[in-house]
Homo-oligomer: A and B are copies of this chain.
């Protein structure tokens, strides 16, 4: 620890304590405990309150979520316990849980703090969270998104039941192939994505692109899903070639980031181009071009000469760019 940047979504405020996921007695007692914290999501958006310029997660307590817990459809995910300076007894640890409700929670909200509301949409809503909260939400939202999309057994189409405190779904059809041996169909999905700053062979320019959906003026690093059977260095070279027509040589891993939309592992790299002609893939990229180091610095410090807008500081693309300019005090 301590060598990595304190990247948004990566902060580990909780200890996942995965050993407790199969201890249903302990989990039951924690779900009943007045000290436990419950985070509520509606359609994957967390319940928050705003005040003093800050957006904070609403920490609900057992009585506040009792009705929701009684509903058999509500998925409850054990997030972990608050990290302690000194070793505590397991019973004294403060446990956190997350639940998602698909139902209209209007009635529920009336009984809670009137300042509470569900963040409207993941982006850019989630970026308003504090670093501690963002780390918790990264975990909670990814697992809840999996439950929302993977209710049925992909192997046979039957219904499934939740196990392991929210980290496993098991097919309910006796005889299903998924019940023999261990298969990824039963476990939450994490999609590895490579995101890369492509450096010009002259060492003084980098390649950025923009999707049609980006805010005006914003350019960011190229990125793409790692495909089956691929090393991440191969994925970097394939995606850059597909999206920009640029051939890439050496790849250097820099750092990674959880990205809970819905459940990506962003793998951030620098890489060096072997060719410089750019032909953007029109299906995905509206425009891709080379920017000089000075242009990136101008965008970073929001100078009035800036010719493009940086990705937000919470995105690993920002870090990859900042690191390259030499403003890397935090890395």
Report whether A157 and B155 are in contact in the complex, using a CB–CB cutoff of 8 Å: no
- State the 5 A-B residue pairs at the shortest beta-carbon distance, nearest first: A142-B228, A139-B229, A152-B157, A138-B229, A157-B157
Within 8 A of B (CB), among A248-264: 249-251, 253, 255-258, 260, 262-263
10 A-B pairs with CB atoms under 8 Å apart are A138-B228, A139-B227, A140-B229, A149-B178, A150-B154, A152-B154, A190-B225, A190-B226, A192-B192, A228-B258
The one of B1, B231, B238 in contact with A10, judged by C-beta atoms closer than 8 angstroms, is B231
Within 8 A of B (CB), among A225-241: 225-234, 237-238
Whether A4 is near chain B, meaning CB under 8 Å from some CB there, is yes
Whether A49 is near chain B, meaning CB under 8 Å from some CB there, is no
Whether A7 is near chain B, meaning CB under 8 Å from some CB there, is yes
Whether A19 is near chain B, meaning CB under 8 Å from some CB there, is yes
Give the interface residue-count category, chain A: 35 or more
Known: A1-B237, A190-B226, A230-B139. A185 touches B149 (CB 8 A): yes
Report whether A192 and B265 are in contact in the complex, using a CB–CB cutoff of 8 Å: yes
Docked complex Cα distance between A18 and B267 (Å): 21
Q: Which residue of chain B is the closest to A224 with respect to CB atoms?
A: B18
Report whether A155 and B146 are in contact in the complex, using a CB–CB cutoff of 8 Å: no
Q: Which residue of chain B is the closest to A183 with respect to CB atoms?
A: B149
Report whether A228 and B263 are in contact in the complex, using a CB–CB cutoff of 8 Å: yes
Report whether A228 and B143 are in contact in the complex, using a CB–CB cutoff of 8 Å: yes
* Interface set of A (CB-CB < 8 Å, partner B): 1-4, 7, 9-10, 12, 16, 18-19, 135, 138-143, 146, 149-159, 167, 177-178, 183-185, 187-192, 225-234, 237-238, 242, 249-251, 253, 255-258, 260, 262-263, 265, 267
Docked complex Cα distance between A152 and B151 (Å): 11
Docked complex Cα distance between A12 and B238 (Å): 11
Q: Which residue of chain B is the closest to A272 with respect to CB atoms?
A: B3
Q: Which residue of chain B is the closest to A10 with respect to CB atoms?
A: B231
Docked complex Cα distance between A226 and B264 (Å): 10
Report whether B151 and A184 are in contact in the complex, using a CB–CB cutoff of 8 Å: no
Docked complex Cα distance between A141 and B228 (Å): 9
Report whether A231 and B249 are in contact in the complex, using a CB–CB cutoff of 8 Å: no
The one of B146, B190, B229, B242 in contact with A9, judged by C-beta atoms closer than 8 angstroms, is B229
Known: A185-B150, A189-B184, A190-B226. A231 touches B7 (CB 8 A): yes
